């Protein structure tokens, strides 16, 4: 059957080769499974999100009650909701590991794949932010107020843009409706970008952990690495179900179980844990515009890696690059911890130090 396709259908032949006969380095290991796990997590998020959207009401008077309705009255609605919430957290865990694996093994040498991945990260951040507003709890409302107010730091037009985003002079029904629509559309854009990301990856092929990308050292992706992906998916699903059923609300903020109240400001407003590193960088700079620029540059800076890439086999075999890589990881963890703490001494000072080190190490890498 395979020979018939190859002989009679050239277009199908190309597709068949890309999806089945993709040449992959024989040395790649389970560390390369993160991309396939991200695809699996995206599918979970799309399915559960679509089902939840069918029962959600994007009005400020009814949004919080619609979440209660989903949790209590819809058949298995509680399960859909906690899968969707924890799925978002796992998505960021996987994508952060995926990015750092790419840095360690110099995957940024493949420019198109790397740039498309960074664009996916930006779209994912936007999707997660607007999605976090939809439950309309206290942290959802005040988090949206704080983050959207950052746009006002833009000179001259900032305040006008904020009012346009809100649909008025404060966060209201128009804001929640817009965020719901954006949260519904962005995953479709995200899925399209992932297809582009995979296509560019299949054109160049995966990089080898030993840095040898010769065609002589490549084997067919199927069935050898398809089996590894399948095993990784099984282990991931077991762990994911374990967390969902035994620790469903461990990652959430208890304050978000209270309905949004514009007259009652929470003592400590903070984003979800996967944004805390950027939040720590934002608040480490006293100037509002400077903090916003640092926040954006903290993500965009990974686009500079392909520009500075030297012709080395892999960062894994370069002691200096390995040291810088693990320093980036430790800095990221410390900034995440700082973001969860109040803006006071010594957390403010530590945040400023490690925010500076974060940028320095990316410049030197």
**Active-site residue list:** 202, 206, 228-229, 272
DSSP string, 243-307: HHHHSTTTTS-GGGGSBP-TT---SS----GGGHHHHHHHHTSSSHHHHHHHHHHHHHGGGGHHH
Q: How far apart (Å, rounded) are the C-alpha atoms in residues 160 and 296?
A: 20
Task: Give the separation between CA 242 and CA 234, rounded to whole angstroms.
Answer: 12
CA dist., res. 338 & res. 288, Å (int)? 19
> Backbone phi, then psi, for 218, in 5-degree steps?
-115, 145
Total Cβ atoms within 10 A of residue 11? 7
**CA distances in angstroms from 160 to 163, 166, 293, listed in the order given:** 5, 10, 19
The token pair that represents 336 in the structure block: 């995440």
- With contact defined as beta carbons under 8 Å apart, do 336 and 271 qualify? no
> How far, rounded to the nearest angstrom, does the alpha carbon of residue 319 sit from its chain's CA centroid?
29
Q: In whole angstroms, how large is the CA radius of gyration of the chain? A: 22
Whole-angstrom distance, CA of residue 227 vs CA of residue 185: 33
Containing 327, the helix (H) or strand (E) segment is helix 319-339
Distance CA 136, CA 65 (A): 9
3-state secondary structure (DSSP) of residue 24: strand
Q: Please state, in angstroms and rounded to a whole number, the distance separating the CA atoms of residues 45 and 184.
A: 11
How far is the C-alpha of 270 from the C-alpha of 177, rounded, in Å? 23
């Amino acid at each position: 059957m395979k020979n018939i396709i190859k002989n009679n259908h050239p277009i199908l032949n190309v597709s068949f080769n890309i999806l089945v006969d993709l040449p992959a380095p024989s040395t790649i290991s389970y560390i390369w499974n993160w991309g396939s796990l991200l695809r699996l997590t995206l599918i979970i998020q799309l399915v559960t999100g679509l089902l939840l959207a069918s029962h959600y009401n994007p009005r400020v008077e009814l949004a919080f009650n619609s979440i209660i309705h989903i949790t209590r009255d819809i058949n298995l609605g509680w399960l859909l909701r906690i899968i969707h919430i924890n799925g978002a957290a796992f998505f960021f865990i996987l994508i952060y590991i995926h990015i750092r694996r790419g840095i360690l093994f110099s995957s940024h040498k493949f420019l198109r794949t790397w740039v498309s991945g960074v664009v996916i990260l930006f779209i994912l951040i936007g999707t997660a932010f607007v999605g976090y507003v939809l439950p309309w709890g206290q942290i959802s409302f005040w988090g949206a107020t704080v983050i959207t107010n950052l746009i006002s730091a833009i000179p001259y037009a900032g305040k006008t843009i904020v009012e346009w985003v809100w649909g008025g002079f404060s966060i209201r029904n128009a804001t929640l409706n817009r965020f719901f629509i954006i949260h519904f559309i962005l995953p479709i854009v995200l899925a399209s970008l992932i297809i582009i990301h995979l296509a560019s990856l299949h054109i160049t092929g995966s990089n080898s952990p030993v840095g040898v990308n010769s065609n002589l050292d490549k084997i067919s992706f199927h069935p050898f690495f398809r089996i590894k992906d399948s095993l990784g998916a099984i282990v991931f699903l077991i762990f994911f179900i374990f967390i969902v059923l035994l620790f469903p609300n461990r990652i959430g903020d208890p304050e978000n179980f209270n309905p949004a109240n514009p007259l009652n400001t929470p003592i400590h407003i903070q984003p979800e844990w996967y944004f805390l590193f950027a939040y720590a960088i934002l608040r480490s700079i006293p100037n509002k515009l400077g903090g916003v620029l640092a926040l954006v540059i903290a993500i965009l800076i990974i686009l500079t890696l392909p520009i500075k890439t030297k012709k080395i086999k892999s960062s894994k075999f370069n002691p200096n690059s390995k040291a810088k890589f693990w320093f980036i990881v430790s800095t990221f963890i410390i900034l995440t911890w700082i973001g969860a703490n109040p803006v006071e001494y010594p957390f403010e000072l530590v945040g400023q130090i490690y925010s500076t080190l974060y940028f320095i190490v990316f410049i030197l890498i």
